[in-house]
Amino acid sequence: MKRSKNFLKYSFPFLLVFVVFFYNEYLIYWHVISSCNWSKGEYEDDNISNKLVNVMLIADTHLLGKRNGHWFDKLRREWQQHRAFQTSRHLLKPDYIVIMGDVTDGNKNFQ
């Protein structure tokens, strides 16, 4: 009996860290993006509303280039953008995805 209490006593912090990490790295995207939805449009007729197109716009991602930034910053940024994109693509199911704006921060040769 004493052994199981010690196990619970020492394993609880590890379990808590795992749950917090899992929520912040995976579930937070589902939680936030699931509150988004597509507009139904101003048409009530089924024939017209079926013709609405859902477009997801992605702008100003600012991916780091080969020279700028620390490797961990690159890894973290790209992971967050990957998770947000995959989750929104899965939950919202857009008809088209358009990427526009500043895609990278890599070539800052301007003075």
Give me the pLDDT at residue 104, please. 60
Range of the domain at 19: 2-100
Residue 32 lies in a domain: yes
* 31 CB-side CA count, 13 A: 7
User: Number of folded domains in the chain?
Assistant: 1
Residue 21 lies in a domain: yes
For 75-110, letters b (16+ CB in 10 Å) and e give eeeeeeeebebebbeeeeeeeeeeeeeeeeeeeeee
Residue 61 lies in a domain: yes
> Model pTM?
0.66
Residue with tokens 């995976």: 26
Residue 110 lies in a domain: no
> What is the full DSSP assignment across 3-53?
HHHHHHHHHHHHHHHHHHHHIIIIIHHHHHHTT------S---HHHHTT--
Taking the CA atoms of 68, 73, 75 and 79 in sequence, report the sign of the dihedral they define. Answer: negative
What letter does residue 111 receive in the DSSP assignment? Answer: -
Residue 57 lies in a domain: yes
Residue 23 lies in a domain: yes
Query: pLDDT per position in the chain (111 positions), as tens?
Result: 566 677 777 788 889 999 999 999 889 988 888 888 877 766 655 555 556 788 998 887 777 666 666 788 888 888 888 898 999 999 999 999 998 876 666 555 544
Backbone angles phi, psi at 54, to 5 degrees: -100, 120
Give me the pLDDT at residue 111, please. 41
Q: In the numeric block, which tokens belong to residue 81? A: 């953008």
Residue closest to 92 by CA, chosen among 55, 43, 42 = 55
Residue 34 lies in a domain: yes
